[in-house]
Structures are given as C-alpha cells and as structure tokens.
Amino acid sequence: MGKKIALITDSHFGIRKDNPIILKKQEEFFSKIFFPVIDKLEIKNVGHLGDVFHKRKEINFLTLEASKRMFFEPLKNRNIDVFCVIGNHDTYYTNTNDVNSVEYILSEQYNWKSYRNPETINVLGVNVCIIPWITKENKEKCFKELEQTKAKILMGHLEIQGFNITKGHPSLKGLDPEIFKKFDISFSGHFHIKSSNKNIHYLGTPAQYTWDDFGEPKGFHIFDVETKKLTFIPNKIEMFKKLIYNGPDSKIENITDCYVKIYVENNDAIGLEKYIKEVENNKPIEVKVINNKRLNVKTLEEDENGIQLGNTESIITDYIDKIKNDKIDKENVKTFMLDLYKEALEVK
Ligand SMILES: [Mn+2]
C-alpha cells in the first residue's frame, strides 16, 4: 500500500521579471505532467519545500493570476492538503521569516499550512521534521528542533555545504551535512539543481529558469512516507536549447519560446546568416551566436592573466581564486559576486 505524497519545491512564480513565457512553460508542466500524476496516484498531500514566489517584497498580478490558475486552484479543487516550508524567497525580511507571501496569499486564501518556524509535524501518520529557512531570529529554535526531534524524515529549505549551487559549483558555506546523519532521509529546496549525496536530497526546481538549468533533470517527486521510497517524475519541457551550425544541413529542433545558443563550427558567413534567419523564424525568445572560431585562441589557452575562459560564473570564481591577497575572504567575495551576477541577469 504505502502512503504517497508529492514533493515540489522552488516554483519561483514570477522569476525573471515575471516573464510570461516561463509562466506558460510552468503551466504546461502543471497541466500535462504534475496534475495527471497526482490524479492517477490519487495523491491527497503535497509538500512544497519553499520559494513559492520569486519576488520577496511584491507580487505582479499577472504572476498571481497565472499561479492561482495553474497550481493553487487545481490543488484546492482536488481537496489536497498542502504543507509549505518557508524559503528565503518567501520572506520580506532577510533576518526573520515573519512577514512572508505564503501566509498572506496561500494560508489565508487556500488553507495551506505554512511553517516559518521549525516543527515536527504529522504527515499521513508519520513524523516529519520541518526546518524552514534559517534566519538570525529562528536559528536557535532550528538547531534545538534538529537535536530533539524524533522524526526520521526531514524536509527543509536549507543551505548545506558541498551541494551544487549550479553544475560543478558546490556551496562552500552552509550547514554541515553531518547534522542530518540522524535522519533516514532528508529533502531540501533552495539550490535549484537536483542532487543527492548519501541520505540528503536536493529536489531541484520543477522547470528550467536560466541557462544554469540547461541539460539538468527537472520535475517533482513522489515520496512514500511509510516505505521511504522516492520516485522522480521528470519534466522534459525545455526552455534552453543549444544548436550547432556546421553547414547548410544543420538541424533546427523545436525552439519556439526557447532561449537559444547557436554554436558555430563552420564559418561560412552566407550559410550561417541563412541559418540564423531560419532559427529566428521559429520565434525563439532570444538567440545568441557563439562563434568558436572567433574565440578559438582564447578558449584553448589561458589569457594573459592566467584565467581559463569558460562560462561567466567560472570566470568570476577563477578570477577571484587568482587574486594574490590573503587578507580577503575569497569565498565571501565569490558569493557576493555570483549573487550580483544573478541579479544582473534578472534586469531586462
Ligand atoms: Mn530557490
């Protein structure tokens, strides 16, 4: 038999300046993948592990309307019980979870149970330890709950050391993974890449939002609280596509409403121009042409500062690593610069 619930996290409704095409792709995920599985398995309990909306301080009404229609209303219509762990994007302040969008929008209008403080709750008769985003204000309570709880299952919105923030970039700060040894299985939202190590699982976002999500598994999970079996339900709807131009026969796959990068391997200018026009006729959101031939010298060798060129994040981190100054906390500078870079990407 078992007792199955669905786990979803980091929906970030309204991400990238309330981008309507991301909302459209999210809607496709909920209507074609999420709810059909919920119905088929007759799921009546859903856990959201934080960052329901993207913006911490305000809501765009187009985003609110779309998220109600694609997610909140269909859950309510099915009489599904939702519990929600407050994440860092849900809160107005950074030093407390007290004022948060989930309580004002979802607890009041949709009867979602939300947890801004740690608590051990009962899900289908099984104890689950809930740890929301840890702030200055709830820190002590969180560590006390982690220590005292009798639950064997943990669900949180946490920053844990060693787990990937983006592909190949593990977090150097955060909680010690040893803390979670006492649990049989732990789940967390926060980092958007799906990754697991031992009994700790970052579940990943349900859909792609940025180039960091390219090629990464996206979707949601079914978890049996009794047998502790975890099943991944993939969302194969993609938004980020890489194309290769290597001559007149180069393929164009389905790229409508997608962010596209064209990697040029054959530099015949007339053919390439024709290809780019054809790509644009398919109505992608954005096309970037990456001309390897032109960048050849620099991608293969180190530039004069000894920095290997790669993606923007690794250029930033590599550069900071190469700074010869022991007085600065390089990890702090890296986090700051990467946050700044992410924020810059958000600006239209
Ligand atoms: Mn998040």
> Looking at residue 316, what is its pLDDT?
84
- 151 C-alpha vs ligand 1 centroid, how far in Å? 25
Q: Which tens digit of pLDDT belongs to each residue from 22-37?
A: 999 999 999 999 999 9
**Residue 223 pLDDT level (bands cut at 50, 70, 90):** very high
CB distance 256 to 283 below 8 Å? yes
Residue count of the chain, please give it.
348
Cα 175 from Cα 158, distance rounded (Å): 8
- 279 C-alpha vs ligand 1 centroid, how far in Å? 32
Q: Which residues have beta carbons under 5 A from ligand 1 (an ion)?
A: 10, 51
- 54 C-alpha vs ligand 1 centroid, how far in Å? 8
Instruction: Check whether 92 has a pLDDT greater than 60.
Output: yes
Residues forming beta bridges with residue 100, ordered by sequence position: 91
**Over residues 222-232, mean pLDDT:** 97
> Looking at residue 54, what is its pLDDT?
97
Domain total in the chain: 3
- 187 C-alpha vs ligand 1 centroid, how far in Å? 14
Domain residues for the domain of 284 are 239-299
- 256 C-alpha vs ligand 1 centroid, how far in Å? 26
Q: Which tens digit of pLDDT belongs to each residue from 259-280?
A: 999 999 988 889 999 999 999 9
- Could you tell me if 91 and 8 lie in one domain? yes
**Highest mean pLDDT (candidates 33-47, 98-112, 260-274, 293-307):** 33-47
Contacts of 272 (CB under 8 A, 6+ apart): 245, 264, 266, 289
Cα 330 from Cα 322, distance rounded (Å): 10
- Could you tell me if 216 and 290 lie in one domain? no
- Could you tell me if 64 and 90 lie in one domain? yes
**Highest mean pLDDT (candidates 256-265, 285-294, 333-342):** 256-265
- Could you tell me if 91 and 145 lie in one domain? yes
- Could you tell me if 271 and 318 lie in one domain? no
